[in-house]
Structure 1
Amino acid sequence: MIEIILKGDCLFYNSKKEGLIGIKDIQYIHHMGQLLTIYFTSNQTKKFKKLELIDLFGYQSFILSLQSLFNQIHSNNSYLGAKPDIDKPDDFKSFLIYDQQDFVDSSTPTDISDENFLEYLHSPDNSILKPASPNLHHSIHDYYISASHNTYLFGNQLSGASSTIGYIRSLLLGCRSVEIDVWNGDDGNPIVYHGHTLTQPIPFVEILTTVKNFAFVASNLPLILSVETHCDVQQQDKMAHLLINILGDSLITQKLQHDPSSLPSPEQLRNKILFKTKNRLLNKEKSISYDDYFTSSENSSSSDLEKRSFSNFIQKVTRRASASSDRSSNSSAGSPRFVDSIGNIPSNNRMSQKLLDLLIYTVGVKFRGFNKKEHYNIEHIFSLSDRSARKCINTSSAEFIKHNRNHLTRIYPHGARVKSTNFDALDYWAVGCQLIALNYQTVDLAMWFNFAMFNGNQGFVLKPSPLLHKDEKKLLDVITSVNVTFRVICGQQLPKDINQVSVEIYTPRSFNNAPLKQSTKTSTEAINPVWNDVLSFSVNVRASMTELVVVKFNLHNSQSEDIIASYAITLANIRQGYRNVPLHDAQLNKIIFSKLFVYNSIK
């Protein structure tokens, strides 16, 4: 590794400055395959301002692609909008105020060198994402909460592998609600698996140990354990014992001192874990039937192939069960029992008092509709499949919004989604549903919406004001048009084969927008392409809820539909002006050094 100092047009390398190297020679160093440690200097002294590891050829190309910007800055004839000769005192502040629309104060530098200006443009301080400054003092039902479905699963819902890794990955991505399906283990210890499927079990104790270790690594905001309890009373007692002993003081076991008319706030619940399961004593539930998996009266994005796959699976399990009637006597400890028939799953309304005692703020109840005769306590939370919730939106959206002002609601993927596909969360967020549980193992468009919503916010995002306050409900009928413009300038250190950028904008159906997508021209540059194309959109926004407008940048090759790199952000979180856009791969992993440089305008 070579240590160099960037000053003006020259680079000093080696700590003893034994030689000089010019900008034109950087390409040779790049082809030597060496990563360079660059020390940026703010003036002609030898004091170092910042350390950054970067591919210098990429940095050089980034500089050259922005040369026209700097030329216009210094000519004081800029399209930036400010009087941007940054060599003059106070003009850097003017650039930040008028072009970037950033907050400045007495500590903001009044002038800046070319080198430091470049550093600013490239740095995380100039990211397109607004710095997070969340208000965490509302009741938790006032927030969207990042949630995972069947967190233990990898792959499909019928035979996918089970692992604690699912919990680690979800929690490190900032997820604040994970799901655990708990069943009787044959050795007397509860196990976790997707019941009546070919998925393999994991001891409940292993799941809890993993949660304990990773619950507050990425975020110290409250975590909800959404537990499906299928155990008998004896193993429920063991569940309660394990929850208390493994999670310790993190587990909420009694109510806090707060306003009893609402749930506590995320601030009050920092570093705390909430246990949620259905209170069977409040739910006289029927046995599960085949129709529970497929509701016929509703349109769904699940394909007929998925339905046939599920039907074939049920037949396979039934044949396997009848052919192995002595399975239970020969099975190893912890193995799941297979159901004889999907219509014959036994009902069990008995509950352990020890487990009931852990239901404090998140008590699962059966959905009984929104009519006036039904009453839900403040701590009651019901779960609906995306299909059932869609029916509620279509028939009772105002009542749904009203309910979600004071209660938590969880939406999960319908049972027909056997391939672990996800559903569009935007429509459910638009009626105030807080917990949209997604299959984190599937990074599809819906997961990118989730990424955009919770990007940088640690799993809790305050809902838009019209969804919180009944005195603003009339605003929900108002749709305004927002003009959004992106000048896609250039890319830095992009993955191979990218030559085009597409920008897509997504909104809830109630916003009444046609598909919104535009693309740049193709570029002939390989690693550091230049486009300088303007993409303009007119977006309908209901009740000014720009928090529910998702902008997705897709980088790809013009000859292929495969997306190589992406970024997603809500319109409410976009910083205007000249910004860098960090890029991620198809599994949401950040691509080191790769950035898109854009100019944004929202009016």
Structure 2
Amino acid sequence: MSKTIASEIIQKYEPIEEVKKQHQMTIEGFIRYMNSNDCLLFKKGCKHVYQDMTHPLSDYFISSSHNTYLISGQLIGPSDLWGYASALVKGCRCLEIDCWDGSQNEPVVYHGHTLTSKILFKTVIQVINKYAFTASDYPVVLSLENHCSPHQQEIMASNLQSILGDTLLSDVLEKFPNELPSPEALKFKILVKNKKIGTIEETIKRLGNDKHGQIVECEEEEDEEYDEEDSEEHINSPMLFPKTKTRKIKIALELSDLVIYTKSEKFKGFRHAQLYQKFNENNSIGELHARKLSKQKAREFISHTNSFITRIYPKATRTDSSNYIPQEFWNVGCQMVALNFQTPGLPMDLQNGKFLDNGGCGYLLKPEILRNPKLNFSPNEFKEYNPTTLLIRLISGFQLPPSYRNDPLVLIEIYGIPDDQTKQQTRVVRKNAFTPRWNETFTFTIHAPEMALVRFVAETQATIGSNEFLGQYTLPLLCMNKGYRTIPLFSKTGDDLDPASLFVYVWYHE
């Protein structure tokens, strides 16, 4: 630490003027400093947008939610506007909207073929318009699961245009006629992701023409949300699987022409995409299929996500709105790894921790190993000759949340490529959750630090069954400050448990 920085710290935190003048610090001043935001584990620089935001959209991880309108299970319970407001406030940039024909010519949003309640499509768009850019200036993508008749699709298009106004991207950007634009170029814009008829060029030719009542029929091989591999779960509920293997869908040109850079296209394999897929076409792949591809064809998967936006969604059998571990799909460069934001737990801890980075703007530039085809990267076969050594000394805790036993321990978990995934834990401190002291050192070897997340979990030991969760904190490894640092703890639902915290010493190569 330089003399200038030391002097600034003394001036800011030392309470006694006479000591300040001598450029010294009392114990009281030092404690104030160590308990301040200046000593948090998370780097200050990562709290702001610092990454290059001028790459094409396909070069970014994009914070994405699944069935955003649901706030509980997938079969019964309410659909709620709060799902959209809450996701946007958290920095989510891709929202899912399931659209169905409603009464009185008003399209509705709900989980089709279930008992979930219905909300009006237009009120969903009104809420999105209100909260879209609360947490981030960068573009929002509306991922439409469109089951509406052509007439109600026209109403959807009218709602989108009248409510969103100039924020709706309804034309090609002049500088990006044949390539995906960047988040920077799309600031304060809302994009529609849906099936589209024809090419961008054909859309441009139609601009300004009267398209009312024009309908085009196209063939879709199967419902996007139906994943053949879900049948392995032996679930045969007709509520879950409208098993339409080949169907004709009718799309109103008014809605089709609002789809510019985010055209939904059925995934037919990596080879097919390489030969025929256009730059503005993206794919949605079910979790089970995507997991098989990530294990068997990781390099091809990464090559695909180099060029095309790929969205992953949970398998249909997750009727309780549970989530998969998103890391496995980030490892192969999938941009939109969609989770049920309403369901707390490890997957959402990883989601929230990852997207703390880059100012919480919802867009993260993928590391070069996922953007540069020449590196021929595979997370399953990665051999780095100079791996990073991460050293963490878990020193103590402070005012951990009370529990029945008050026998705390701490787990340190690493999530990243398979070779890096591991966890270690401290010993148990008996009957002291107020000021537990561990003073234990842990060493980790990290082969792909740019992909790694570190999760700290405080638990209390249980005599029977699993340990009781007390609090956690997750962040990208490269967003960790070195030296002596304070770690704030958060509840299962993401609430700050201040003043509950951990005190650590951190060191690693950069």
Are 2:397 and 1:496 equivalent residues in the alignment?
Answer: no
**Structure 2 letter corresponding to 1:554:** V
Alignment correspondent of 1:479: 384
CA distance in structure 2 between the partners assigned to 1:291 and 1:252 by the alignment: 29
Contact conserved, 2:392 with 2:507, CA < 8 A, in 1?
A: yes
Alignment correspondent of 1:167: 84
**Mapping of 1:166-565 within 5 angstroms?**
166-279=83-196, 284-286=219-221, 288=223, 292=227, 294-295=229-230, 308=235, 311=236, 313-314=237-238, 342-343=242-243, 347-371=247-271, 374-456=275-357, 457-473=360-376, 477-479=382-384, 481-497=387-403, 498-508=406-416, 510-513=417-420, 515-527=422-434, 529-541=435-447, 544=448, 546-559=449-462, 561-565=467-471
CA shift, 1:167, in A, is 1.0
Are 2:23 and 1:44 equivalent residues in the alignment?
Answer: no
**Structure 2 letter corresponding to 1:363:** K
- Tell which deviates more after alignment, 408-417 or 453-462: 453-462
Alignment correspondent of 1:118: 31
Quickly say closer, same or farther: Cα 1:41–1:512, change in 2 above 3 A.
Answer: closer
Contact conserved, 1:277 with 1:364, CA < 8 A, in 2?
A: yes
Instruction: Deviation per CA, 1:40-85: give whole Å up to 9, x if none.
Output: 655427xxxxxxxxxxxxxxxxxxxxxxxxxxxxxxxxxxxxxxxx
* 3-state SS, counterpart of residue 147 of structure 1: coil
Gaps spanning 5+ residues in structure 1: where?
A: 1-38, 46-85, 90-109, 298-303, 318-338
CA distance in structure 2 between the partners assigned to 1:424 and 1:289 by the alignment: 21
CA shift, 1:346, in A, is 9.1
Quickly say closer, same or farther: Cα 1:289–1:268, change in 2 above 3 A.
Answer: closer
CA shift, 1:490, in A, is 2.3
Alignment correspondent of 1:79: none
Contact conserved, 2:220 with 2:246, CA < 8 A, in 1?
A: no
Quickly say closer, same or farther: Cα 1:157–1:474, change in 2 above 3 A.
Answer: closer
Contact conserved, 1:422 with 1:439, CA < 8 A, in 2?
A: yes
Alignment correspondent of 2:487: 581
CA shift, 1:449, in A, is 1.2
Are 2:477 and 1:568 equivalent residues in the alignment?
Answer: no
CA shift, 1:185, in A, is 0.6
Contact conserved, 1:556 with 1:564, CA < 8 A, in 2?
A: yes
- Tell which deviates more after alignment, 368-377 or 438-447: 368-377
Alignment correspondent of 1:104: none
**Mapping of 1:72-111 within 5 angstroms?**
none
Alignment correspondent of 2:73: 156
CA distance in structure 1 between the partners assigned to 2:444 and 2:304 by the alignment: 32
Contact conserved, 1:222 with 1:273, CA < 8 A, in 2?
A: yes
**Structure 2 letter corresponding to 1:586:** K
Quickly say closer, same or farther: Cα 1:296–1:349, change in 2 above 3 A.
Answer: closer
TM-score (norm 1): 0.71
Alignment correspondent of 1:63: none
Instruction: Deviation per CA, 1:258-298: give whole Å up to 9, x if none.
Output: 3445322212222211111122669621355998454457x
Quickly say closer, same or farther: Cα 1:516–1:88, change in 2 above 3 A.
Answer: farther
Contact conserved, 1:487 with 1:535, CA < 8 A, in 2?
A: yes
**Structure 2 letter corresponding to 1:129:** F
Contact conserved, 2:76 with 2:116, CA < 8 A, in 1?
A: yes
How much identity, in percent, do the aligned residues show?
A: 32
Instruction: Deviation per CA, 1:548-601: give whole Å up to 9, x if none.
Output: 222211112122612121111121221111111111101011123222211112
CA distance in structure 1 between the partners assigned to 2:468 and 2:258 by the alignment: 47
Contact conserved, 1:520 with 1:535, CA < 8 A, in 2?
A: no
CA distance in structure 1 between the partners assigned to 2:414 and 2:97 by the alignment: 31
Gaps spanning 5+ residues in structure 2: where?
A: 1-11, 200-217
Quickly say closer, same or farther: Cα 1:218–1:403, change in 2 above 3 A.
Answer: same
Quickly say closer, same or farther: Cα 1:182–1:266, change in 2 above 3 A.
Answer: same
Instruction: Deviation per CA, 1:83-130: give whole Å up to 9, x if none.
Output: xxx9999xxxxxxxxxxxxxxxxxxxx865544433322122221112
* 3-state SS, counterpart of residue 123 of structure 2: helix
Alignment correspondent of 1:35: none
**Structure 1 letter corresponding to 2:40:** S
**Structure 2 letter corresponding to 1:44:** E
Contact conserved, 1:183 with 1:191, CA < 8 A, in 2?
A: yes
CA distance in structure 1 between the partners assigned to 2:494 and 2:224 by the alignment: 37
CA distance in structure 1 between the partners assigned to 2:163 and 2:226 by the alignment: 38
* 3-state SS, counterpart of residue 220 of structure 2: coil
**Structure 1 letter corresponding to 2:17:** Q
CA shift, 1:424, in A, is 1.3
CA distance in structure 1 between the partners assigned to 2:470 and 2:427 by the alignment: 16
* 3-state SS, counterpart of residue 497 of structure 2: strand
CA distance in structure 2 between the partners assigned to 1:201 and 1:291 by the alignment: 21
Greater Cα radius of gyration, structure 1 or 2: 1
**Structure 2 letter corresponding to 1:519:** T
Quickly say closer, same or farther: Cα 1:143–1:113, change in 2 above 3 A.
Answer: farther
Alignment correspondent of 1:106: none
Alignment correspondent of 1:12: none
Instruction: Deviation per CA, 1:167-195: give whole Å up to 9, x if none.
Output: 11111111111100000012211000111
Contact conserved, 1:383 with 1:410, CA < 8 A, in 2?
A: yes
Task: Report the aligned-residue RMSD.
Answer: 2.8
CA distance in structure 1 between the partners assigned to 2:225 and 2:480 by the alignment: 45
* 3-state SS, counterpart of residue 220 of structure 1: coil
Instruction: Deviation per CA, 1:365-388: give whole Å up to 9, x if none.
Output: 111211166321111111001111
Contact conserved, 1:551 with 1:570, CA < 8 A, in 2?
A: yes
Alignment correspondent of 1:593: 499
Quickly say closer, same or farther: Cα 1:160–1:272, change in 2 above 3 A.
Answer: same
CA distance in structure 2 between the partners assigned to 1:174 and 1:585 by the alignment: 19
Quickly say closer, same or farther: Cα 1:288–1:215, change in 2 above 3 A.
Answer: closer
**Structure 2 letter corresponding to 1:286:** E
CA distance in structure 2 between the partners assigned to 1:379 and 1:289 by the alignment: 18
CA distance in structure 2 between the partners assigned to 1:424 and 1:147 by the alignment: 14
